[in-house]
Structure 1
């Protein structure tokens, strides 16, 4: 316990709990919660399906990240100033959405949802950049873990809690409450410390766009590093894509799946993430990546055991607990690793670029899984999913050597040389 207080007790790390919450709160309000509101108002299912496109700003955020690297608001500094701006705009957009009607004004609702997604993804850009800028090297794992915990708690509030409230309050009141909660997040930003290191931002938009790309791709093996980022959690993504259909196919009820896979799984992920941050503080990022890569891979075999045993609540709880704890550890280490790659002059753009490549795996990994299950069966599918971890493990010696140093990206001098060329 004393070690956990030492790792998580300082102001830099603690402030990220609130910023992670602020970052996660808007997501469900334009996704599952909005879909529930639309379904309640009997909006056509085809239109509800089309509304999934409102999430596109989250995949395109790297396009405007350079603007947030280049310009500094006139208050609260380069990072916190942008965070406050996006939080206020989000609160206003959510409030405006609460006054609209999905049934009678679907296109206005669509426009407001896109605006919320745009402001939310912009907030993500600058919160990620702030986290990488404010944390010291030994705090990267704990900071990553704390942010993920705050983010997950926010998903519960804007997802599960919002839907429960909708049984007792009008949807407009629910979204109005979420707007107020979003505005209150400004307090987290005001309480967060300013990064100790003063970094000179890019002087021009050209430098803000070209600088981070030139800085990153001058590094030896830069392209292969992007492949490593896409592949490290491949096995985890493949297994996770079919968890709900698998549990339902075994005969578990939707209540079982919601209670154990969603609620208990979320708690397990939070515990794994916090434990991962503590382990990273002791072992370092590189060695933690090795340890968690193997834990993530072999935790999939717990689902193989569940497939062989059949419907067993004890085995189900064990499998979901192991998978989420190990996955949370891997996420903490991997987020810390990506933060360590960023040049502080261009953190917003570089981190947005890296997370965009990470998201590709999450999107594409699930595509072949249904065909695999039909061909192999559940037990063999989860056994084979372990092999998805191999490409990332094989790249670890190059990009995260066990006895290698753990640097923090590139220096400004090198970047200026690249831009001048």
Structure 2
């Protein structure tokens, strides 16, 4: 039993499991829209003369990612119109959300921020809503289609696809905007959503018989929340506070990163080369370093290190803002920030996954992953006003200081984190027992 739970996937397992390979296009499809309504769009808006205060407020369209838990039970319990009859519930929702994302990107491409900012914002909101829905259903499909011991490699493949998409949506879009125009960049990104649609059509249809049992919508929303409260009790408060604040420095600073580069005088090609191309690969290295730390140091130590380095990395941007357009310092800042973000991301995904219950994994994960982005999105909307009033260095220094309460929260949840790891290990061992084994003992 213990041997079964501790079995490690071999290289052959990875190479021959088509489900793991399919997480690449699905991760790509999930990652592509994010920057297109966040960092990349902010660069276009700034170049079009939109004020930093307005850019900061426009980042609120990404709040859809933070409220996706509100409609996650709908995705779990109800069919997507027409498509679910053809593809099944999970794949039907995946295909629908991918198509709507592409339509929204076409809307952005057809707009002009200087003369039709309303259309730009409405289209960006549509992209964010559909993209957040896609995240929910891809997570649900991943949990449904593979056993627990394969979830680590499924998530790793997803992260690789996601970050490759960030290269396309970041560096790729900026290159096209630099040498052609912004509209062509967004038309191209809309076409690339076809990668995810192909992945959806190739993905196996999961057994949805249990999901199709009639469950009142209110119960589908309340039961996952009740389960969390029953298992964690009062400790749930610092746990949720830690999740909510863990990526806060990254989200707040991220809104003003591209405007900073442009205000310092870096070209779109410079930003694409360093931030959106080189930086993404550094982030991938950071993500795998976080995964390695999880196996060597354990979950809590990895979480603590991630909290410290992710917050303190913002001091590099404060330094860059004071020094000016120094290319070497720009590269150094991007290196530190992206490595720290990748490392912290791996730690947070592992932590949130460990908090879920098998029976409510999709909805609970949607709730937790929504929560971690919510404060950053709300506060990030005011980041432009802070820069206009006090300058870039103050903003980035203030976000770095968030690391202090994060460390304190890590210390508070330490014992519960150790207990959670042991509970998950015991659950995996129990799941490894063949059906009926208990009656034969």
Shorter-chain TM range is: 0.7 to 0.9
In the other structure, the counterpart of 2:346 is 332
Gaps of at least 5 residues in structure 1 are 412-421
Take 1:293 and 1:48, find their aligned partners in 2: how far apart are those partners? Answer: 27
**Counterpart secondary structure, 1:166:** helix
In the other structure, the counterpart of 1:362 is 376
Cα 1:406–1:309 change in 2 (3 A) is: farther
Shift of 1:96: 4.8
Contact 2:242/2:406 (CA < 8 Å) preserved in 1? no
TM-score with structure 1 setting the length: 0.74
Take 1:383 and 1:47, find their aligned partners in 2: how far apart are those partners? Answer: 24
In the other structure, the counterpart of 2:172 is 161
Take 2:197 and 2:176, find their aligned partners in 1: how far apart are those partners? Answer: 24
1:208 to 203, 214, 220: 220
For the aligned residues, what is the CA RMSD? Answer: 4.9
Cα 1:301–1:48 change in 2 (3 A) is: closer
In the other structure, the counterpart of 1:414 is none
Contact 2:69/2:363 (CA < 8 Å) preserved in 1? yes
Encode CA deviations 1:214-243: one digit per residue, 9 max, x unaligned: 222222333332123224456777887887
Shift of 1:402: 7.7
In the other structure, the counterpart of 2:99 is 88
Contact 1:162/1:174 (CA < 8 Å) preserved in 2? yes
In the other structure, the counterpart of 2:28 is 21
Shift of 1:365: 7.1
Shift of 1:407: 2.1
2:148 to 119, 137, 143: 137
In the other structure, the counterpart of 1:415 is none
Aligned length: 408
Take 2:188 and 2:165, find their aligned partners in 1: how far apart are those partners? Answer: 14
Shift of 1:186: 1.0
**Counterpart secondary structure, 1:203:** coil
Take 2:69 and 2:260, find their aligned partners in 1: how far apart are those partners? Answer: 35
TM-score with structure 2 setting the length: 0.71
**Counterpart secondary structure, 1:200:** coil
After TM superposition, list the pairs within 5 Å mapping 1:187-266 onto structure 2: 187-193=198-204, 199-200=210-211, 203-204=214-215, 205-219=217-231, 220=233, 221-233=235-247, 254=266, 259-260=273-274, 262-266=276-280
**Counterpart secondary structure, 2:123:** helix
Cα 1:310–1:392 change in 2 (3 A) is: farther
Cα 1:240–1:145 change in 2 (3 A) is: farther
Cα 1:43–1:316 change in 2 (3 A) is: closer
Take 1:11 and 1:185, find their aligned partners in 2: how far apart are those partners? Answer: 15
Instruction: Tell whether 2:303 aligns with 1:289.
Output: yes
**Counterpart secondary structure, 1:357:** helix
Cα 1:297–1:312 change in 2 (3 A) is: same
